[in-house]
Structure 1
């Protein structure tokens, strides 16, 4: 499958962050966006999604809870999730692993690094 055939869901409560991440991805991937964990779960149910970029610090259902819900659903448990946050510490990394995330990356994201992580995960699908 070509890169263009992969769909990535970007989940962040800040529209500016969604726009920035989308600008890194839009030439290589189909990009969907959600501004909450709840809406992300609905999109995953309805759309064929290959990977989720998920902000940790969101109101309502945070990124850890959203990732846990994604991984506890048989239809989406194999879906790769990359958690992102402006403050990543050792506890965040441990909790990310516990809830089933593949990576925990710190904002601001560097486009090339993000693309490399995404390509690594999608090539293993």
Structure 2
């Protein structure tokens, strides 16, 4: 059985890139709505979550706070993906307890490397 991966990103290009990169090794679920993330994660029990920070309405930072208060173990499976790559952002997500940070734009090699280091340990 393939591991579940949840992609939380409002950019269809990033959604498709991750789906394409992992199509042979994981069951990939996608949402563009940060508000749905924790509920979906509780239902899907993903081995990995790709989380964009900059989404309209409910940002990745909001998702992290919701995870921290409701299901903190989800943070250990979460890779933040963002074009926002300043020191303050990296410190904020790192201290929140996420598994990692990857600067956008994503490449297929990045997705596979992150999957292998997070899911296949």
TM-score by length of 2: 0.87
Return 5+ residue gaps in structure 1 as ranges: none
| Pair 1:87-2:93 in alignment | no
Residue of structure 1 equivalent to 2:40 = 43
Aligned-pair distance for 1:47?
A: 1.6
Deviates more, 1:80-89 or 1:113-122: 113-122
Return 5+ residue gaps in structure 2 as ranges: none
Of 72, 82, 96, 1:77 maps to: 72
Over the aligned positions, Cα root-mean-square deviation in angstroms equals 1.6
TM-score by length of 1: 0.85
Query: Higher relative CO (CA 8 A, sep ≥ 6), structure 1 or 2?
Result: 2
Residue of structure 2 equivalent to 1:22 = 19
Deviates more, 1:83-92 or 1:53-62: 83-92
Moved over 4 A (4+): none
Contact kept in structure 1, 2:14 and 2:106, CA below 8 Å: no
Higher helix share: 2
| Pair 1:64-2:61 in alignment | yes
Contact kept in structure 2, 1:67 and 1:100, CA below 8 Å: no
